[in-house]
Amino acid sequence: MIQTAMLGKVIAMSPLVPLIQDRGYEWGWRMHSMWGIFGIGMMLMMLVFWVLVIVGLVAGIRWLTGQSKGLRSDSALEILRQRYARGEINKEEFETKKRDLGL
C-alpha cells in the first residue's frame, strides 16, 4: 500500500499531469509558443527542400528525354550523310530528307 501511495504522489508531481488529465491543450499551447519564428523557419526550409527535389526530378527527366532526342537526330543525319557519301542518294534527295528530319 505504501508503494502505491508513493507512486500516486510521484505521478501527481509529474510534468505530464495535464496530459494524463486530458488537458493536453494547456501544455501544448505553451510548447507551440516556444517554437515561434524557428518553427516558421523550419517549415519554410522544408518547403524549399521539397521544391528543390521536385524541380531537380523534373529537370533530370527533361534532360534525359532531351538526350535521347538529340542522339536520334544526330544519328539520322549521320546515316543520311553516309548514304550520300556512298552515292546511294543524290544531293537533291539528301537535301529533301535533311529538311524532312527538321535539320
pLDDT tens digits, residue range 22-52?
554 555 555 555 566 777 888 899 999 999 9
Query: Per-domain residue ranges for the chain?
Result: 2-100
pLDDT digits (tens, 9 = 90+) for 40-98: 888 899 999 999 999 999 999 998 888 766 555 568 888 888 999 998 899 899 899 88
What pLDDT does residue 78 have? 87
Residue with cell 510548447: 31
Q: CA 55 to CA 30: how far, in whole Å?
A: 37
What pLDDT does residue 29 have? 52
Q: CA 26 to CA 28: how far, in whole Å?
A: 6
Q: The whole model's pTM is what?
A: 0.39
